[in-house]
Amino acid sequence: MCGQMHRGQKSEEHRLETLRETEVLVIGAGPAGIAAACSAAECGRRTIVLDDNPLPGGQIWRGKEDPNATKWLSRAQRAGVQMIHEAQVFAAMMNDTRVVMAETPDGLCAVRSPCIILATGARERFLPFPGWTLPGVTGAGGLQALVKGGLSIEGKRVVVAGSGALLPAVAAYLHEHGANVRLVAEQTSWLQLIAFGASLVLRPSVAMQGLGLIPQLLGIPYEAGCMVTAAHGEAKLISVTLRHGSRTWQVDCDYLACGYNLVPNLELPVLLGCAIANGYAAVDEWQESSLPGVYCAGELTGIGGVDRSLIEGQIAGYAAAGKQGKPKAQALWPQRQALCAYAERLDRAFALRDDLKALATPETIVCRCEDVRRAHLDALAPGSWRMAKLHTRCGMGACQGRICGPAMSFIHDWPMESTVSTRPPLFPVRMETLTAAGLTERTAEKTGEVNR
């Protein structure tokens, strides 16, 4: 973020030659972002969407011919929403003028808007265990994304493991594309799964989606209360060790798709100054954050699936449109309440067990970027994420803590927001982009925007 300039620099408007103006700016083109953009634009607000992917839809709709996605994207087009793709937001000015800066293949794209809607989604949580850095070990959704992007999985032996409602869907998708899915290993217990399944009587559409996966999962072993404790191989993955109670065994495989639920992408909300509560962006009934004029929707406010994201996105879009949209936003509150209740049941059903904290041995690398081992971290930085960074460089590498941060938050019970890196630029960008934006460490420090 670069609220002020060095002496001798030209004015902000001249320096930011690509500056665009809009009434509502949406960041993220997943379900929440698209719904927000549609609602704001249909209320007559000029609306721009910035998204870092080449196509809209986010992770949930990417590479799928989904009727729901087609409906919403067509609606956005009719409403006149302007979408800017391959635009990765890396900084913003939140002083008197609100300017968000993104890097595109053509260089800097700066957008000024009084209303900003954040719909940056979520990513998988990875937990370290011996061998988790081997080639062939990926996230559950990560392997699905690779296959969507063209990776051939035909005939490959795959173990899907971790936790969450995503696992069966990933297994079904991989099986459909020719994978030999050897096992689905879910860490939560059968008792919790049965209780969650029974609660779906309140969500018949979700129950039908789950039932629709059954034909695709026939013949695939499913173990509840089961976890991967190690991955084995030299140059690549060859097998994994699993544990269910006191029983352990090995399964040969070419890929391990392993993820432990989702965590919100909080970097941008924290950078802008939005309050975080219980690991999520705190919002009011209008989806407005603690920062007036900045709204958050979708997985940023709680992991609840596409339906909740669509409803929250609409509420945020209508609310950002002002008086004209607020009655429409208020009419959606009962639906949001029901979807939030479902999300709470989801959280309880797939809550991570404490024994997962012990998967990483003293010799296990817990920070892949900086090769920090658990023994080193535990010895030098037991107290906080800040100490971990200062004494071990954990979280200081290329991913800026996006991989190890959520894992350490879980293992050490550190607040999720404390592990979020918000020093601009949020992502690696080209020097010419930084120059065009006037972003330097000195200007960030002058405006108090370097995360201490």
- pLDDT for 197-206, tens place per residue? 888 777 777 7
CA dist 256 and 198 (Å) reads 30
User: Mean of the pLDDT values across residues 212-236?
Assistant: 90
Give a yes or no: residue 446 inside a domain.
no
Q: Does position 323 have pLDDT exceeding 50, yes or no?
A: yes
Residues 198, 244, single domain; the answer is: yes
pLDDT score for 405: 93
Quickly state the pLDDT bin for 16 (edges 50, 70, 90): low
Give kind and range of the element (H or E) at residue 183. strand 180-186
Q: Does position 17 have pLDDT exceeding 70, yes or no?
A: no
Quickly state the pLDDT bin for 18 (edges 50, 70, 90): low
DSSP string, 18-57: T-EE-SEEEE--SHHHHHHHHHHHHTT--EEEE-SSSSSS
Give a yes or no: residue 452 inside a domain.
no
Give a yes or no: residue 49 inside a domain.
yes
Q: Does position 243 have pLDDT exceeding 60, yes or no?
A: yes
| 256, 231 contact by CB (below 8 A) | yes
Residues 30, 106, single domain; the answer is: yes
Give a yes or no: residue 193 inside a domain.
yes
Residues 19, 139, single domain; the answer is: no
- Write down the residue that tokens 């609606």 correspond to: 75
What are the residues whose beta carbons fall under 8 Å from the beta carbon of 309, sequence distance 6 or more? 30, 31, 32, 35, 60, 119, 297, 298, 299
CA dist 210 and 193 (Å) reads 12
User: Mean of the pLDDT values across residues 4-26?
Assistant: 61
Query: How many separate domains does the chain show?
Result: 3
Q: Does position 375 have pLDDT exceeding 60, yes or no?
A: yes
Give a yes or no: residue 327 inside a domain.
yes
Q: How many CB atoms lie under 10 A from the CB of residue 59?
A: 20
Q: Does position 208 have pLDDT exceeding 70, yes or no?
A: no
pLDDT score for 310: 97
pLDDT score for 381: 67
Range in 97-101, 110-114, 379-383, 432-436 with the lowest mean pLDDT: 379-383
Q: Write down which residue in 228, 244, 260 finishes a domain.
A: 260
Residues 99, 153, single domain; the answer is: no
pLDDT score for 73: 94
Residues 37, 110, single domain; the answer is: yes
Residues 95, 63, single domain; the answer is: yes
pLDDT score for 139: 96
User: Mean of the pLDDT values across residues 219-246?
Assistant: 96
Could you check whether the bond before residue 334 is cis, i.e. omega within 30 degrees of 0? Answer: no
Residues 132, 206, single domain; the answer is: yes
CA dist 294 and 98 (Å) reads 10
Q: Amino acid identity, residue 19?
A: L
- CATH of residue 101's domain is 3.50.50.60
Owning domain of residue 331: 12-122+264-349
User: Mean of the pLDDT values across residues 407-417?
Assistant: 90
Residues 78, 160, single domain; the answer is: no
Residues 92, 194, single domain; the answer is: no
Record the pTM: 0.89
CA dist 366 and 414 (Å) reads 15
Q: Write down which residue in 217, 235, 260 finishes a domain.
A: 260
Q: Does position 104 have pLDDT exceeding 90, yes or no?
A: yes
- Write down the residue that tokens 């729901």 correspond to: 68
| 232, 136 contact by CB (below 8 A) | no
User: Mean of the pLDDT values across residues 68-91?
Assistant: 95
Give a yes or no: residue 232 inside a domain.
yes
Token duo for residue 112: 């000024």
Give kind and range of the element (H or E) at residue 348. helix 333-349
Quickly state the pLDDT bin for 211 (edges 50, 70, 90): low
Q: Does position 192 have pLDDT exceeding 70, yes or no?
A: yes
User: Mean of the pLDDT values across residues 83-91?
Assistant: 95
Residues 139, 117, single domain; the answer is: no
pLDDT score for 447: 38
pLDDT in tens, 285-318: 999 999 999 999 999 999 988 999 999 999 999 9
Q: Does position 3 have pLDDT exceeding 50, yes or no?
A: no
Q: Write down which residue in 349, 364, 391 finishes a domain.
A: 349
Residues 162, 134, single domain; the answer is: yes
Give a yes or no: residue 431 inside a domain.
no
pLDDT score for 44: 96
| Mean pLDDT of all residues belonging to the chain | 89
Give a yes or no: residue 442 inside a domain.
no
Residues 255, 285, single domain; the answer is: no
